[in-house]
Amino acid sequence: MKTVVAHHLGLKSPNECHVADISSWLHGSFNVCVPITVESWKGKRFLLRFPLPYRVGESFRPGNCDEKVQCEAGAYAWIQNNCPDVPFTRIESLSFIPRCFHLLRQNVLSWLNGFVPSHYAHHKNRCPFFTGSTMKVGYLLTEFIEERRGSMLSNTWKEGQHDPKLRKALFHDFARIFLNIIRIPLPRVGSFVIDLNESLRLTNRPLSIEIQQLEIENIPTEISRDYTYSTSDSYVIDVFGFHDNRFRYQPNTMNKLGDSAYQLSVLTAMRTIFQSIIDRGFCRGPFVFVFPDLHQSNIFVITEWHFTCLVGLEWACTQPIEILGPPSWLSDKGVDQLIPAEYDTIRQEFMEALKIEEQNIESVAPVDLGTSHPRLSHIMERSWEKGASWYSLALSSPSGLLTIFTIHIKPLFCKEFDEEFAMVMPFFFKRTSQAFSEN
């Protein structure tokens, strides 16, 4: 590990690095992070991050570890290229080529063919002590967030979440980030990667956390790594595909035949109502960059709860704009535990902050997505009124879809006939649904 860090930072010797004792390593849900101190740089610290193979489905789908690292690096590169004011942490895993040459190269290539090289370049072997075969797994080298830059929001969330002043600061910072990012409409749903020519390209499947979790459980998603989507419809169809596969390949999600029938009913109904609940005007875009892993432990704040640094872009990808909404954890509940009235109170508070920030930015530059689309606040309000907010939450939560549909979506269309719903709808899932549920 010392050799790898010295290689990327251009140090004279690996001995300039000190690897923290294993007791100081940081373990997350999907990664292990190793703190490394560079003694010759006044004790500056970095984190060497490795994906945990058993937590990303590497044995079930070989290549998942590398895909995760590549997409996360692509996400960081896109943020740095397009939204430098958003305070995400820096990565060092791909070293920089000389700055003056790189800036010139970026400009020339953008003029010639529209492809802009990222700020990161594939590292050439320039260190005599680096053989190129030291590390056999994917990794990211990132900066270490020291205490002087802030503390994790999760450290003060429990006692501070009901403080109106702290919530106001948090919501306004969130709103500014949302508006900063949606300035740039994107052509399709997918994940960014950096190719061998150091160009940033939107060519990978949208590597979301729900896709990875299903593959961890040996459930095929049937979404190839080179799949991207130019319409919301085509993307949602494939999302339903892996929801179907969860039903098929994980039979322990059902307790009895009646439970099986109801799950098939929900999947059928979700397909049926798609056209009436999602705005057709956004079917072909714009698509926007989202980062669903931005929870309390990935946000660093000062005492007043203003953002100082954000980490965690591992599931960032481009999605339909109607998916955007206030983070569900702002209500301190899971997606399948949300109480509408309680969540709506928090949502309205967030929306007020968003509208104020839209007005502030509009005095400098328009926040509209082109000339034909309304403000983000209008899109989000409309999504809430139509039930699209609940629909998006259900699609993004394989384990919560059943509860979210039953409590929040079905009553929008029919509040009665629960028994009849479960008796009839399964037969419209597919012609072989009876045999399907028995397997």
So what's the pLDDT on residue 348? 97
What is the Cα–Cα distance from 109 to 116, expressed in whole angstroms?
6
State phi, psi for 192 to the nearest 5 degrees: -80, 145
Please tell me what DSSP assigns to residue 289. E
* Tokens (6 digits) for 325: 């909404």
So what's the pLDDT on residue 119? 56
For the chain, the domains span 2-148, 151-193+200-438
So what's the pLDDT on residue 112? 46
Task: Answer for the pair 2, 17: CB distance below 8 angstroms, yes or no.
Answer: yes
Residues of the chain with pLDDT under 50: 94-114, 125-133, 366-368, 370-371, 435
* Tokens (6 digits) for 384: 């809430």
Q: At what angle do helices 64-82 and 209-216 cross, to 10 degrees?
A: 170
What is the Cα–Cα distance from 175 to 91, expressed in whole angstroms?
24
So what's the pLDDT on residue 434? 52
Query: Which amino acid would we find at residue 152?
Result: M
Task: Answer for the pair 168, 356: CB distance below 8 angstroms, yes or no.
Answer: no
Q: At what angle do helices 257-277 and 232-249 cross, to 10 degrees?
A: 180
Which of 70, 110, 54, 309 shows the shortest CA–CA distance to 196?
A: 70
Please tell me what DSSP assigns to residue 336. T
Task: Answer for the pair 35, 26: CB distance below 8 angstroms, yes or no.
Answer: yes
* Tokens (6 digits) for 257: 């035949």
Which of 154, 145, 45, 148 shows the shortest CA–CA distance to 87?
A: 145
**Which stretches of 250-314 are DSSP H helices?**
257-277
What is the Cα–Cα distance from 375 to 368, expressed in whole angstroms?
5
The SS3 assignment for 294 reads: coil
One DSSP character per residue, 31-90 reads EEEEEEEEGGGTTEEEEEEEE-GGGTTTTTSTTHHHHHHHHHHHHHHHHHHH-TTS-BPP
> How far from each other are the two terminal CA atoms of the chain, in whole angstroms?
48
CA angle 186/272/291 to nearest 5° reads: 30
So what's the pLDDT on residue 429? 82
